[in-house]
């Protein structure tokens, strides 16, 4: 494959993987705090999580939904409780894919790849 086409392909793959909801989910400090807290504390229901943050329960509920739709958290409904936990394996997979894309891009976009 000639270099121009390789570059075009790399760019397309990069857009695919960067245009996800993942970055929008993680660009909000409160959501990062929630994800971090869940990492440390393990699975917890909405009210328990909300009780550890200054925001209202409804706000935390919305943030949890965004994190879940972005694939950061797992959601388990048991009775009238909804439990959330970090999706470690899922996030690892995502990051591996993104990393792979960047590895492909380095030799194409960076003529002098020192440092």
Interface with its own copies (CB under 8 A): 7-8, 10-12, 14-15, 18-19, 23-24, 26-27, 29, 32-33, 35-42, 85-92, 95-96, 98-99, 102-103, 105-111, 113, 115
In the complex, which residues of this chain contact DNA (CB under 7 A)?
24, 28, 30, 45-48, 54-59, 61-66, 79-83
- In terms of Cβ atoms closer than 10 Å to its own Cβ (0-12, 13-18, 19+), residue 74 is middle
User: Whole-angstrom Cα distance, residue 34 to residue 26?
Assistant: 10
Least CB distance from residue 69 to its own copies, whole Å? 14
Least CB distance from residue 101 to its own copies, whole Å? 9
Local structure of 79: helix, strand or coil? coil
User: Cβ(111)–Cβ(10) under 8 Å?
Assistant: no
């Amino acid at each position: 494959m000639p270099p121009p086409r390789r570059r075009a392909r790399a760019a397309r793959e990069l857009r695919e993987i960067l245009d996800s909801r993942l970055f929008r989910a993680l660009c909000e400090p409160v959501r990062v705090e929630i994800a971090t807290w869940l990492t440390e504390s393990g699975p917890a229901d909405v009210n328990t999580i909300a009780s550890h943050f200054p925001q209202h329960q409804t706000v935390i509920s919305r943030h949890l939904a965004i994190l879940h739709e972005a694939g950061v958290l797992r959601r388990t409904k048991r009775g009238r409780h909804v439990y959330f936990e970090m999706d470690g394996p899922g996030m690892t997979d995502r990051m591996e894919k993104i990393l792979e894309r960047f590895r492909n891009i380095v030799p194409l976009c960076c003529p002098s790849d020192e440092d």
